[in-house]
Structure 1
């Protein structure tokens, strides 16, 4: 059986339908994995989707279909511009374990390095053991926690803060 080729690229403001499709899928299929809710994004106007693409968003495609997403938001103050926050990380369940998440992280990291970013940061639910394991395997270290950083109904869930240096 041949392995299907996956391509990863930064999407542009003209590709809001691709962005909308994979982002809403992520929020619908993995609601516990994100601070945002599906309802927060469901009815955004096209202009808002385009604005959110001002920050780099990369999508993994299999047979021209989006199957994964990862982006980052660079910190704006000049003294913090060497840092960026990973956002919108998701790979479709049927594609997990294939290396797509690692490939997305490599592409995002390389792009960030080209912009002079020295450190990637993220916040992940303390209950998301798969994501925590992935980030640990890929060089992220835990630097702190925000107790009750997420509210899921009546449940308070800690946010784990992790960083990975890109200049080492």
Structure 2
């Protein structure tokens, strides 16, 4: 049996419909995993979706041509923090998990961060999602702390694990 082919594509404003579809699916199927809610994003106009794709780097994964996942990279905007990127909007469809999609998306995000001169990429993951934390650890992210009650989901506090991957050696 032939292994499935995974391809990664950097999305542009012309991919707004695909982005909208995957992002809303993620927020609907995994609401406890995201700081934003489905209702936050479902109110956005077509122009808002296009603008979001111009403001941050978003990558989509395709497995045998079918959309399989999504991941974004947002750059800090302050003059003293522009060396930092934030891994955002991480989603892999349940039917495509544990087959390398997440790893390939992270590779694309890290390559983009390096190309933009970023020195580190950061993320916050639900402490209740050991699979995601394992994915990040496997890809070089180290936990540096916990944000107690980082999210409120349906009135319940969920801690978030703060993780960082340095892209250049630390200067000490």
TM-score bracket relative to the smaller structure: over 0.9
**Residue 53 of structure 1: SS of its match in structure 2?**
helix
By how many angstroms is 1:154 displaced?
2.1
By how many angstroms is 1:127 displaced?
0.8
**Residue 134 of structure 1: SS of its match in structure 2?**
helix
**Residue 80 of structure 2: SS of its match in structure 1?**
helix
TM-score for both structures, normalised by structure 1: 0.95
By how many angstroms is 1:22 displaced?
0.8
Alignment of 1:1-168 (within 5 A): 1-54=1-54, 55-168=56-169
By how many angstroms is 1:31 displaced?
1.1
C-alpha distance in 1, partners of 2:134/2:6? Answer: 23
Q: What RMSD in Å do the two structures reach over aligned CA positions? A: 1.1
Output one character per residue of 1:57-106: Cα deviation in whole Å (capped at 9) or x when no partner.
00011343321111110001121111000000011111111111001101
C-alpha distance in 1, partners of 2:7/2:135? Answer: 21
Gaps of 5+ in 1: none
Q: Which runs of 4+ in 1 moved over 6 A?
A: none
Moved more, 54-63 or 117-126: 54-63
TM-score for both structures, normalised by structure 2: 0.93
Aligned residues: 168
